[in-house]
Structure 1
């Protein structure tokens, strides 16, 4: 059910960055269902039209490296929902800090400047559980912030982008923004696919040789989309709101995906030292051939460092925003159905 929105004196126009991404496209659909007009920022017009073929969404071509190119599209906008971020390349091997900083930090700062200049009323920023940190097994909430010294380059970029938003609020008391922190998102509409979607497809297609270590806080992208809208309606200025639902290990998640897709789940566990060896081999092969890294050293290091640190407490979002989470089984079933309907998985 779409989140109902209060009527406003001006036309309700939302500007969504990263609109073809898993969160972005579900957010666009949720906004449309709630009566918003939506301007969707996309880097690829082809993907934009694939995601939104009915012509009811205004598609804006642009990217976060050149915000001034689409500044005019911010005129008349009530709320910017900022979901765009550089993420994938950070785990492909090598160093990517320059791009991470340019998109996630500098791009956010420039977007805030241009949004305020064009009279935007509200700004909902997609942060990440990466900015939080706790001990293994500890229930983590929005107050438990990660220090930069405990962060890899991607995590650091998200920490700094949050600081950009909060500093902007300090500098501009007339501006309003809030932050939503999603967990590991699954669900329909994953054109990318994201790392979550690729894991799903690998299990469904029998390409996973074993069960890797690691744990995550799984959340439906549609629930995160609702959290973004609810944060705009009910959230407090400058506050963080978790949108992280069920804690699961890979050993728990993979058999669920296999059962839903009719695949044979792997049974053997892949030990962490073997993952490091595989990652080292992948990166060496990538350097020699120029092909993408399938498993990077940074990915394995993150799995090891974050083991057990994925128990999050969304009580603040539930109490202040009224956020509810659907079951993981519903999420995975809808994800499977979407992959089949889009031809990314064969029909049963």
Structure 2
């Protein structure tokens, strides 16, 4: 990758910023798309490297930054609208505009600029199976079993596949992350917020949930490997390890010394709280701390977070670092960046 130039969307996000750093470490030049130059400056304030070029732009208006795609060797698309979609209310117009239409516009602009290689950040949202099943890339979800965010990711993948059918000279690979944790979670994402809530001892109990826990740095490595080794039009899982929230909280307790909550939170109670939060969100205009969509997704996906990484291990050489290391580095970053006092 020495001497090559890459364009990264969503560059200030949890995955995006770790991908930017991984590419720079390999001697590449990176054009990093960010909606806010100030946010980019804060995220990358430790980098003094002229090979990092900040491009200000938004996936709602691809044309505004399309000229920066000229001379790029490959495109890494990590940007997506997702955080607000679980804060109450309906968000389909923005999900469609940014995730689906924005991706179509991005591919068209990249091709017009001469870019012929792309790694797209897909999602485990595309996959489904019975509770307890070991799920692989072939087990695709029906849109009838998808909330609005999941549906937007399904349609976004279809947009990538349609581009491959339309353009025989275009090469795209899709990487499917799980619930990402790690340093650089400035948003924060739901992972970073969970860590902060744990550190502040704001968690009232343990929801009956399972998740596929993965370090964003491991997903970044999977994306780089996918560019070099991935087969055109293929999906590759980088979902991580299946865990219950109780198991994750136990790791957080071990790494921080803070007592983990142990009281189970029954689903009826969570739905009741979500209903009140949705009502408050509509009357105050503030986002719901716990939305109906979030609880419904938690219930629907419980037990459906065991993923088979055989293909990614075989073709990309995928590996995962220990969960404790990821938790430790996440907490250290949050504290170092004054999101949580030491």
TM-score by length of 2: 0.98
Cα distance in 2 for residues equivalent to 1:225 and 1:38:
14
1:316 maps to which residue? 311
Residue 290 of structure 1 and its aligned partner are, at CA, apart by 1.7
Residue 121 of structure 1 and its aligned partner are, at CA, apart by 2.5
2:110 maps to which residue? 115
In the alignment, structure 1 residue 16 sits paired with structure 2 residue 8: yes
- Residue segments in structure 1 that go unaligned for 5+ positions in a row: none
In the alignment, structure 1 residue 166 sits paired with structure 2 residue 158: no
**Counterpart among 132, 139, 163 of residue 134 in structure 2:** 139
**Counterpart among 329, 332, 335 of residue 334 in structure 1:** 329
Cα distance in 2 for residues equivalent to 1:31 and 1:218:
23
2:252 maps to which residue? 257
Q: Secondary structure at the match of 2:290?
A: coil
In the alignment, structure 1 residue 290 sits paired with structure 2 residue 313: no
2:211 maps to which residue? 216
- Residue segments in structure 2 that go unaligned for 5+ positions in a row: none
Residue 258 of structure 1 and its aligned partner are, at CA, apart by 2.3
Q: Deviations over 1:102-156 (max 9, x none)?
A: 0000000000000011011311000000000010000000000001111111000
Q: Is the 8 A contact 2:8 2:16 kept in 1?
A: yes
Residue 213 of structure 1 and its aligned partner are, at CA, apart by 1.4
Q: Secondary structure at the match of 2:65?
A: helix
Q: Secondary structure at the match of 1:86?
A: coil
In the alignment, structure 1 residue 202 sits paired with structure 2 residue 197: yes
2:145 maps to which residue? 150
In the alignment, structure 1 residue 51 sits paired with structure 2 residue 43: yes
Cα distance in 2 for residues equivalent to 1:177 and 1:267:
44
Residue 55 of structure 1 and its aligned partner are, at CA, apart by 4.4
In the alignment, structure 1 residue 190 sits paired with structure 2 residue 185: yes
1:27 maps to which residue? 19
What's the Cα RMSD here?
A: 0.9
In the alignment, structure 1 residue 100 sits paired with structure 2 residue 95: yes
What is the aligned length? Answer: 339
Q: Deviations over 1:142-194 (max 9, x none)?
A: 00000111111100000000000001000000111000000000011100000
Cα distance in 1 for residues equivalent to 2:31 and 2:299:
40
Cα distance in 1 for residues equivalent to 2:37 and 2:192:
22
Q: Is the 8 A contact 1:13 1:37 kept in 2?
A: yes
Q: Secondary structure at the match of 1:156?
A: helix
Cα distance in 2 for residues equivalent to 1:183 and 1:194:
13
Q: Secondary structure at the match of 2:270?
A: helix
Cα distance in 2 for residues equivalent to 1:286 and 1:151:
23
Moved more, 54-63 or 144-153: 54-63
Cα distance in 2 for residues equivalent to 1:175 and 1:268:
52
Q: How does 1:227-242 map to 2 (within 5 A)?
A: 227-242=222-237
**Counterpart among 33, 36, 44 of residue 41 in structure 1:** 33
1:277 maps to which residue? 272
Q: Deviations over 1:186-235 (max 9, x none)?
A: 01110000001100111111000111111000000000000010000000
TM-score by length of 1: 0.96
Cα distance in 2 for residues equivalent to 1:345 and 1:261:
12
Moved more, 252-261 or 329-338: 252-261
1:247 maps to which residue? 242
Cα distance in 1 for residues equivalent to 2:197 and 2:253:
10
Q: How does 1:61-76 map to 2 (within 5 A)?
A: 61-76=56-71
**Counterpart among 96, 121, 127 of residue 122 in structure 2:** 127
Q: Is the 8 A contact 1:204 1:262 kept in 2?
A: no
Cα distance in 1 for residues equivalent to 2:252 and 2:196:
9
